[in-house]
Amino acid sequence: MSQKHPAELVISDFNYDLPEIKIARYPLAERDQSKLLVYQSGNIAESTYQHLHQALPENALLIFNNTKVVEARLLFQKPTGGIIELFCLEPADRYPDITTAMLEKGKVFWKCLVGGAKKWKAGSLFYTTMNGEEKITIEAKKSEQLSDHCLIEFTWNDDTLCFAALLHIAGCIPLPPYLNRNAEASDKDRYQTIYAQHDGSVAAPTAGLHFTEAVFNALALKNINTNFVTLHVGAGTFKPVKAASMKDHEMHAEFIDVLPTLINALILQLDHGIIAVGTTSLRTLESLYWMGVKTFINPDLPIHQIALSQWEAYELAEKNIDAKTALNALLNWMELNKLAQLITKTQIIIAPGYTFKIIKALITNFHQPQSTLLLLIAAIVGDDWKKIYAYALENDFRFLSYGDGSLIWGVR
Taking the chain (412 residues) in runs of 10, the rounded mean pLDDT of each run is 76 95 97 98 97 96 96 86 87 91 95 81 86 91 85 94 94 90 92 95 94 98 96 74 85 90 96 94 97 98 96 93 97 97 95 95 97 95 97 98 96 58
Q: Give the pLDDT of residue 1.
A: 39
Task: Please say whether the structural domain 6-68+192-409 has been given the CATH code 2.160.10.10.
Answer: no
Bridge partners of 291?
A: none
For strands 61-65 and 225-231, give the pairing. parallel
Q: How far is CA 183 from CA 84, 173, 176, in A?
A: 17, 6, 10
Helical (H) or strand (E) element with 141: strand 134-145
Q: What is the pTM of this model?
A: 0.92
**Residues 74 and 117 sit within 8 Å (Cβ to Cβ):** no
Give the Cα separation of 84 and 125 in Å (integer): 8
Bridge partners of 407?
A: 38, 363
Give the Cα separation of 388 and 134 in Å (integer): 53
| Amino acid at position 301, single letter | L
Q: Give the pLDDT of residue 392.
A: 98
Q: What are phi and psi of 35, to 5 degrees?
A: -70, 150
Domain positions in the chain: 6-68+192-409, 72-172
**Residues 50 and 214 sit within 8 Å (Cβ to Cβ):** yes
Give the Cα separation of 91 and 152 in Å (integer): 10
Q: What is the CA radius of gyration of the chain?
A: 21
Q: Give the pLDDT of residue 2.
A: 43
**Residues 245 and 67 sit within 8 Å (Cβ to Cβ):** no
Q: Which residues of 250-285 are buried (b: 16+ CB within 10 A; e: fewer)?
A: ebbbbbbbbbeebbebbbebbeebbbbbbbbbbbbb
Q: Give the pLDDT of residue 146.
A: 79
Distant-in-sequence, close-in-space partners of 375: CB < 8 Å, separation ≥ 6: 6, 9, 11, 14, 246, 349, 350, 351, 352
Q: Give the pLDDT of residue 239.
A: 64
Q: Give the pLDDT of residue 227.
A: 97
Q: Give the pLDDT of residue 132.
A: 86
Give the three-state DSSP class for 95.
coil
Q: Give the pLDDT of residue 266.
A: 97
Give the Cα separation of 333 and 339 in Å (integer): 9
Give the Cα separation of 280 and 277 in Å (integer): 8
Q: Give the pLDDT of residue 229.
A: 96
Helical (H) or strand (E) element with 108: strand 107-115
